[in-house]
Structure 1
């Protein structure tokens, strides 16, 4: 079927008033772009429908989790039937019992501009385009995923391109959830008895519900699957999908990456209120884990499920430890273990194995959304940054490695290439203390016995039995036989082992290995070769350098004296790593800078939900955004869950800030509320964002205009440089009003500025609206939105800082005037925000009314 045939075949137009659609108005070759609309559709499951006008119809995709402004977020988009153009203007309710039953709002609308020939892009499976809407702007991509045998759905990925419209510090779905046409929420539209209904029934009288609004069939707790649909039987056990080992992670848009846990693979089966835990070979290990993990699964809001994951024992550093897990199981103390769930195979009678991985993970995250961050059952987060970058981060944190998975792959039992594992390896020199002959022939080399020096003694480090060729092993054995010794170089029990040919500790081998065990022996080791250039008596265990390392010359000139440094219990790894390579500004320099401003910074950052922009390899490398806790997060970074079950991170003291530095955090973004009153903001922020080419004098004048208008309303305001292109005007509040009221005030304020001087200001996000104007960004005041923290550095050349400043200095300053390397050396702003919280007023009780 072509055009609207499939759309029409799914609907009975004698029962619904949905438009049939007019005859095709233009051929595809004649059209390049047109209107776009995003419908928010509360059907069986809430989702968003992206529709692009082309050839007289609306190309349509169902985006389960909705579009994201974060380029690091890939959203699954299922290509569905074309819809008529008239469909783009509908906002109302489709009654129960009809196709797509549920309420619909126009979440966004505007214009789309394709790059190249859109029809050709559809055929090739790669559409690149620009959106000019109220909420969505800039460049986007739709990329078709490779179809699998027997797969009926046409799966794509919706990806935001990293440009001026990209935002990784807010979830636009949460900060701007309502209709751009009516201003209503999707719930309000569904509850409106007088609202539009696409049905042949007459509109009900005021106060009456439309016919059929109550569901006639029961639905399961999470899946939303109608109970009358015949459920598929829950398997007792499914052979797990296994990863193939490769030397590096795969690259490309079709992959996501997860932490490789160092634990036991388990499959959790939930049925009839009972939970069973099976190993990868199908053995029932439920009793080995007592009731802790099973109870966490039993509490999930589902009737039946099959969940794949791994059980681990976490150390104090948050890293999984296999030796600790074995000890816990052998001692019968398996009470502090954690199950990380990473796949969902079956849910409430629905077999999900044929679904793409991304769809399965979305369902799994939804199922686990109410679990606490410190619970025994946790969702395994994934990352879409390049796999090689992810592996480097994992290795630095002491993790075992990375599992890379195809986002479009179904769940296939057995070992395949849909999942790829890449392990971390370390390299170090070790002294050869002896060797074990091959069991098949004493004339051949089986393994090497290794050691290292500590405290004047040679300590055992375990054995290595791989990495040799037959020829290299024979040559090495001859060299070792020439230096054979009658006694062991080790003291104690290690020197009394049998079956070892001991040698003089003279030769040094370079060894690659995965990690150290708790008993200080090597895991996953491999022989790389002999080191002829290093004396054996200099071989010691290599450990990370403590945070007292020397600094680079260029940065040392800029830093405040060490006397201003605040002490912390957090140890920096790689303190000499340049985070701003252009000026040689290192991780240690960043910690020193924050120590010099901490007393001024603390009142504005402690105990506020935060989001992090991290650049572990420096701002010239991969930069990514983090909102939730990950493996290895220091205990000084606190966590909590809000009323929606969303995990929030915050810090309480300088140790928390130091822990953020250790992560390579180059920007700290904060909510406008504190964690103890997270639903009532205590400030409003107006971000003045000028279009390219707008003179700085106009930006300064805009800041003064905001200040004057707020003063007329009875509010005090304070000035902050953004460290970027504009200024922030910050208004302190007493935490009384809720987010909706605060955002409505900020939006109304920005709109009033736009209406008063439309040639100077705009309150619209789109690039077209900004031309030659200053965007009065009020979106920073929505729930979950963030703004750059006072005194935080920015990921820009020179390490600029978002600095609180006095209004009197506005005419002298550029938004990026302050640099982290000079703060504390005569350019501080100690008095700028004095009295900030004392001048707070309620939104309704302003200064003139109190």
Structure 2
């Protein structure tokens, strides 16, 4: 069977050209799945743009002499040429004279495309309709076959659809590469702005010195609650991106991304590493990585979801579908020169000549003076704030008053520090740390003969399933040193004698009146060490360190107290039906006691107060629907034997029993994720115990609760539907509230 790359390879000699020769792959995907597209500007015998769409394991390719146009009136000729390897999408360089297609090539644009309909059918019929999401090209396009040109090549027209936001005459595209920032003419000439910037840095007196990792530690901003006085003369102002801080090195053909803690995050962001490798000169740069949402604003929940990925296949898919962007705002080294002592204004000027203005790695713009004007603008756009930097300041590691973190004109609690957050980097496999189980034979569950050693062993066994719910979340421990029949106590503050490898996050405790170091558990060793403290249940926050103000889920706790469990099931299914009606996904788990938790993913889109409001609206809607068995009355005397719908566990610092946590009850029940098909009259939460839950978790093909960690539903639309639904039955709700001794809000 002929290979679709036979024609490509027949025209090229791998010993004479740097072009890739990758094999064709089995690229079967769902008809509407996103695929890679690339447009390469090519100075061959005639200048043209190569338009390429990934399909079936290769890049289907067309040569477009005049390049794409955003004007629907322009019908750009596109001549079909041989398929190219998928690896060609990252090719940028010069094809030597004497080879097929000799000349300079840059990656002019790159992104994903989605076919409208079945793409193979469209190609066969001669009309392929598709959507592009790139750095320059967006919206809906069509390739229409017209005739067979000379030499037997199929001739098509590339057309931009009318009626979308990216269509219209007079729209000009930037001509730089979205990988290297080079112009095609610079690549062809062999020297460009970056090379000239190196000579300029040398002229300014930058010494030739190799910087170690210790030398390249990041400079950090000092928080400031109010803007500078006046216009900020002598200061540069940048947007606060609300992302993760990275210092990136380009050395030869290798790029390395390091967090501010010095951890290697290169594997997390291949779409950033590749453009850094393509830079024309060696450099060390400082910036923030974000994932931009459809509105062009940083999407913190999407960034955190990216940082949690570990499998290379998942990372590669995310890099294509939700690519990260690295906004570069400072320069530490250039072409082997140490530029840290140069004034910031000079470093920024050099930096602008080195990194692209558009693409996955891009220059972070700034304004001189006018800081308050920029602050008002970012506030209006819902961004986190600004960073003020002295224009004459050198780059010095550590926190500095020469950089000021100024939040947007809203509550300071809603803004994160711009340069102090690091992505949670998956660590490579390492030998297990020494975690000794002390007094492992002590019986903690007397009626069942379950010992402390059994509990520690359980947490080690369940760790692969439990850790995704614990990662980067502050924990609250409940310790039972003598077992479930002995005294217990809560513990939020990690002891000073903890192992140095156990991470913590410092949070001000309003009840304690001081800052507390909450445990963060990353691995099975940490989980075992905490269990060995005498911990039986673990409670987790709904938000993560680095985004404490943005919860990942909203929970409604169905607490039956003395009500029959069949009422809990009926209410849970009614809540599930309501969420479906509103367009909200919902996921159940047992609490490990008598009730159920129903969780709705938020994707970091709401504050804790807004999450509590959502929970209250859902609870009151169910109360209005099932008043005989459901209530939102908190006082036991007002419940009247009904199931309590508790929405108050949504709030800053509020916790729930972690999925897979053991509860201190006879039988060692476990808070267990459920499938909705299991929430029936036959459900018995006490059946899920320390003894059988690890086996259950292994048998299930997928954790039924895990989508709550990454889901991002359209909450605004759901809230509007819910408010409308509530408005229709508000009178009945008010009467029931008065009956329960409450005032309807």
| TM-score, scaled relative to structure 2 | 0.36
Please give the TM-score of this superposition, normalised by the length of structure 1.
0.32
Kindly name which structure, 1 or 2, has the bigger radius of gyration based on alpha carbons. Answer: 1
